[in-house]
Structure formats: structure tokens, C-alpha cells
A and B are shown apart, each in its own frame.
Chain A
Amino acid sequence: MIVKGEYMNRNLRWRVLLTLVVMIVALSLVLPSVPGIKNTMLGKILPDTTINLGLDLKGGIHLTLGVDVDKAIENNMSNMGQDIKSTSREDDLAVLNPSLLPGPRLEIMLVSSAKQERFEKLLSKQFPNVKVDAKEPQAEDRVKYVLSMTPDYKKYLAKLTLDQAVKTIRNRIDQFGVAEPDIRRQEDNRIQVQLPGLTDPERAIAVIGKTAHLEFKIVDDTVDPAAIKQGLVGPGRELTAMIQRGANGSSSETPIVLMKEAVMTGEYITDARAAIEQNNNQFSVSMTFNPRGAKIFERVTGENIKKRLAIVLDGKCYSAPVIQDKIAGGKAQITGRFTQEEARDLAIVLRAGALPAPVNILEQRTIGPTLGQESIDAGMMATGIAAIAIILFMAVYYSTAGIFADVVLLLNIVLTMAGLAAFGATLTLPGIAGIILTIAMAVDANVLIYERIREELRKGVKPLEAVDKGYSKATLTILDSNTTNVIVAIILYQFGTGPIRGFAVTLVLGILMSMFTAIFVSRIMFDLYMSNRKADAPVSI
């Protein structure tokens, strides 16, 4: 008997020690998140973990972007058509009218049917990513080819497009200056962007969602305005909208005829800055090209003196100044009566590069900082009141045993918060709801045990034995019932978006911690309480 008692005490000592260690670790994880502690002496020795707050609590913008991968593949196919044409020419083969078919497929015409074999050889050698879907002899000794991309190449292109889009968006956001942005790829060609602290979704979308495909095109001023009205602009020309801004910020669009083929694109830009215009309060964007771009720009401007050069961004012409002279030095300017903010944002997207495909905004959620703070306050209030109500109830209903349950309940809350900090999980408003639910579930474990002990006591079992039986019998039940809650929480995590995930995380953490606190820690308290009494002294439960 004495031996057993000593064994139990030693066992108890270890269990107390373990609990203390867990508590110290938990507190050191949680305390850095408590406002005001970070800057004290204590804050300096504590680890650098803080609980991340979700966008719904700290305010910010959540965007889901859909990348139009099909468009990128189409563009690539159409470029490939031009490539095939020029490569064939170098090889002394004449290929006409590459044109895009839905699919996307490419239709091209080979002049002279005798050269079929040579052309096909060239295709397989230089363009291994296309395959011939059909060929058909045509009049005038021509052969019509229908080409398509290999599925592997399409997949590769899709991946490349998405990679590049993520990279470009990240680049733009970095330059925009957002603290801790979160950019991640999702299934179905989607990108999720989280921008904590930002509150103007329009501006964020303008910076992130702009394709920023910059082209320089020569203006054709010879087309008759009447013909423009009818849309008759002639071969190799295109009708584009020219944006004209009034001094007061109003804008209108007028048609302008441009040569279809761009003389240069934005890919040579190395730098872009917002600059204030000299004689008014408006801003423009000045660009610097790399040496190759500078050379092209010099040649293009030299060849087109006295003509107008249109600066086309995402299909809209912003300005079309007359080329006075050959421009060397690799600098150009976009003027368009921009505001300072617009010019700054445009400079960012030009610097960061164009998106490989257009993106659509599929989902946008913006939480203002006031609402976030209100949610935090309301959540804290609700948690506090729920906790106090339950703590009071337990203490009254189970007296001493109830106070044990209350102590482990508080420990459970600290441990759950510590878990959030340790795993770098995010606390959201539904997450706070999860903590409140966990409070109820954590006491449930104690309720199960205590009711069992009471049941045993009613049967006339001696107190010490009743406590023992209560714990051992209820433990399995607690495990069983909690398992289903964990299963549900994991499913929630799998399907949920940000805030819901926060809920699932706190729920799982809370349940796991409650197994430790309610079964293990509360037992220690009971053992300590029982160790100094006679076996048949009544228990306060």
C-alpha cells in the first residue's frame, strides 16, 4: 500500500512537471500576441511568434483572379503561325495566310504542292509542338494545312502562363508596397491574392488585373473619316479607341486607325517612372528601354518621321504624338493627363511586365479596418461572456470539481491560442466562434467524467474508486465523441475558404487540447486533491 502510494506520488510529480512545462511553452507562444508585451523586457526573450489575424479581422482585400489561359494559348498559336511563315520563307517555301481557327487550330496555305514533303520536314524539325490535323489539296496547286498543338505542349503552356502570371502579380504587388501579401495558385487556373491593410479594391484591381500589354503602332491618318464610321479601314489596318481626357478628369473615346502590326512592344522596358508634366498639374509615365529596345525604337522612329506613333495599352490608344525626329537614347513617354496615382500605378505595371494572359476578377472581398476592429471587439466580448458564464456555472454545479474544470478550461484556451501561434495558423472571426464552441466542448469532457463519477458514487462506490472509474470509463467515450467533431472539422478545412478554415483550425486545436486538459490535467488536480484524504471521505463534486 505504501509502495503504491509512493509510486503514485512519483508518477504525479512527473505529470505535474510535464503540465508545467507545457504551460510555460504555451504562455511563451501566446504572450507575444498580447498587445503591449512585445516592447517590454519580457517581449525580448520570448519567441517571435504572433497569432496571425485573418483579413476579416485585420481588414484588407481578398481577390480571386481567373487567368484566361485559353487566350494565352491562342496568342501563342497565332504567333506560331507568323513564325512558321517566316521560317518557311528562309527555307525558300511560300506559306500564305496563317489564320486562327477555334480550338485553337491554325490554317495555313502552302503554295506549290510539290513542296509538301519539305514543308512537313521543316515542321517536324523546327516546330515539334505542332501536329498536322488535316491537309487538303486546293486550287492553284496549293495545299491547305490545319495544324494544332500537341496536348503536352498545351499543358506546358498553361502551366507556364500561370507561373508567369503569379510571378508578374507578385512583382507588381511588391512594387505597390503591401506588407505580407499572400499570393497562391489555385486549381482551375485561378490565383488567390490577399492584401492585408489595403482598402481600395478598385485601385488594387487596376494594378493587379491590368494586362499591361504595351504596343507601339503607326497611325494611318490617310483613311477617310466616313470610311472609319462604317468600319472600313483597309487591309493591315485596325480601328482602335483613342482615350481623350479633359483637364477636369472626364474622358471620352474617339476612333483612330492604326497599322495592325506593332512596331515595338513593352517587353524591352527596363524602367518606368511617373513624371509631372511641365506646364500643367498632370502626370505622365516615362519609360526606359534596354539597349536592344533602344535600337529598335531609334530605327522605328527614324523610318516614320512626320507620322504619328500610337502608344497602345491593352488595346486602347493613350496618346499618338507626331514623330518629329529620330529618337535615340531609348526613352519614351506616355502622356494621357493621368493623375499622380494613375501614373504611379501605370509605371508599376509597366516595370513589372505584362501579364501573359488577361485576368478576370472572379471574387473580391474587402473588409474595412473599422469593421475588422469591431469584429475583434465583438468576438472578444462574446468569448469573455461565454467563458465567464460557463466558469460560474461549473463552479456552482460541481463545486470543487467544477473549479478544477474551470482551471483546465482556461488552460485549454491558452493552449489553443498557443497552437494557433505555433502552427502559424490564422485567427478569423469564425475562428473566434470556434474558440467559443471549444469552450463548450472542453467542459463537455469534464461533464462526462464528473457525471460518471457521480453515477458511481450513487451506486455506493468509494470516492477514490469512483474517481478512478469515472475517468477510465469516460475517457473512451470522450475519444469517440471527439473523433467525429475532428472529422467534421477536417472536412470543413478541406472545403472552406479563408475564414471557414480559421474556424476548422481552432475547432481541431481546441478539441485536441481539451483531451489533454480535461483528461490528463484535471486528473492531476483530482489526484492532488484526493491524495491527502481518506479513501472514504466525501468528494466535493
Chain B
Amino acid sequence: MTLAGWDILRVAMQIEDIVQIQERFRSELGAVTDLARLDQVRRDYLGKNSGLKAALKDLRGVPEESRAQFAKLLNDTKASLEAELDAVKLRLDELSRRTQIEAEWVDLSMPGIAPRRGGRHPVTEVEYLCLGVLRQLGFKLEAGPEIETEFYNFDALNIPAHHPARDMQDTFFVDGGLLLRSHTTPVQARTLEQRPPLPIKIASAGRVYRNEAVDATHMPMFHQLEGFWLDTDLTFAHLKGILRFVVQGLYGDERRFRFKPKYYPYTEPSIGMDIECATCHGTGCSACHGAGWVTIIGAGMIHRNVLQTFGYDPDEVSGIAFGWGTTRMASQWIGLGRIKSLYEQDLRLLRAIHGGDQ
């Protein structure tokens, strides 16, 4: 079958229409400045009422010989328009994003507004750190009363009445002949009295009281932490090893330390442990009274009299005890010479310690 003249004319006209559609489309697309207008153009040229859609519907009317060619032309045109629309949409999207972002500038110099977190007291922070180190060695935390008897605070710890060592711990006495514990060591006495199975590894921490005149570095109440370990065959070398472990856990491997003789009535031999002064690194300064060292731990092998008080045979059982002032440690840590400030509930200081505003 051959194309009639009328058919040829119709196809030609339709091709010309399509060309015109494309020209109009490009003209309108070039004028688009927003997404809404772009949608309108898309609907006008690719929507169900568009010329292109109508041409596709009329495809059956195109003579069979040229239908495929004509259909290809229509599809190519449609694809071309879609591509051009997409490209413009991409450009407009980017423009829109840029416009939005430009409009959303914020002043980052304004302070943050998330609720500010509070903070633990420096002594508690130190206590938690210390207990964390001691837990690695198996020490469990035990508590004891703050109002104590003379027996647990002194007598059971080899500090009999009128012993000069009682001067080291001027004591607050309270009603009923009781006293405010002058150290956390009564927890040791109370634990040993219970005779738990060996090994015993206990840490205790908390408030202790000394009846002293208050000044910048002396408080009637402060905080201590101590540990003791009772077992068979514990030795002086073990005592030193444990102290090194504790100090390195708290201050790191690089900090120099030294041991020196001390006297505590409830340990024999007794040890003092110094660390290098953090301020002068050992050369001597006012913070360390020129020594280059700061004493942080008092320790020793538990005195045989203490063991015997609770029925232990010192030839069979030995013990290690050590302790330190967490108040003093906290003040050293944060570089606060006036430890009294730690107990003045001054929120300006506490916030500053935690990096907040004063």
C-alpha cells in the first residue's frame, strides 16, 4: 500500500507541530525561575492534555509505513523534553537549597542552650578513681559508722589510752564516751572482728574528724580512703608492689615515687609514699615545701597486736594496709592549696572546677 497524498501532508504537518512544540517549550523553559512554574511547563508539554500526548494518541492514524519512524520521533522528543526539565529542576533545586541555606545563617557565637550538667565534688571524683584502681586488685568497698567507740578507733588498732599517737589524731568525743572516728581504719577493725574467710580485701572511704583549729589546710572534717588486705604470706615486697600499682593507677607510669619510713601504731613496718611534686617536678617549690616530693600515702604491714586482738596468729597471717586523704589528693589534683575551699559549698568554685561559668 502506498501513502495517499493526504496522509503525507498530515504527517508532515504533525512533524512541523512537534518542532514548534519543542521551540515553544524551550522558550518557556528558559523563562522558568521557580519550581512551581517548572511544574506548569512540565504539565503543559508532557501532561495528558499536551500536544505531545495528543500526537501519541493519534499515532494509530499515522500510516503504517511511517508510524514507527513517527513514534520514534515523538518518544525522542518526549525524552528530550524530560531531560531538559530535569536539568532545570536540578538547577532550581540547588538554587532553592542555596537560597534556604543563605536564609538560615545562625550566629554560632551565641552560647549553647542545652541544659548544663552539674558535677560531682572533686573529693568524690578522686574517691571513685581510687576505688576503680583498687577494684582491679579485688578490693570491695565497706562502710562503717562515723560515731565510733574508742575500741574500734584506737584500742583495737594498737593505740592504747595515753599513747602519744593519739596526739596525731586529736579526737572529738561525743555523748556516751563515743567519738567521731579520726580515721577510716575502724572499718578494718570491724571487718577483722567478723573473721571473714581469707583473703580479705576491703576498701573504706568517707568522712573523718579531727578536733583541730581550722585554718586553710586543716579542717575538723575531711575525707580519707584506705584499703587493707589480709592473707597468708603477704610480705613487705608485696606492700611496696601494691602501693606502686595504686600510685601508677592514679598518677600514671611516668610519675616518680619513693618510699620512706613512717610510724603508724597499727602497722609495723610502716611506709610513707611520696610522689614527685607536680608543680616543680622534683626541684623543690613552695607547694612541696622545697622537698620536690609530696607524701600521698601512709601504709604498712598490719601490726601483730592488731591481728592478735582479733584472734589471728601473726605467724600464719599477715596484712597490708594503706590509706590516703582523698581531700588532700583532690586539692593536689586540682591545684587548690586552700583545702578549706572544698568544704565551703561555693558553687562558683565547684562550677569552675567543672569548667563552667563562675
A, B bound: no
By a beta-carbon cutoff of 8 Å, the part of chain A in contact with chain B is none
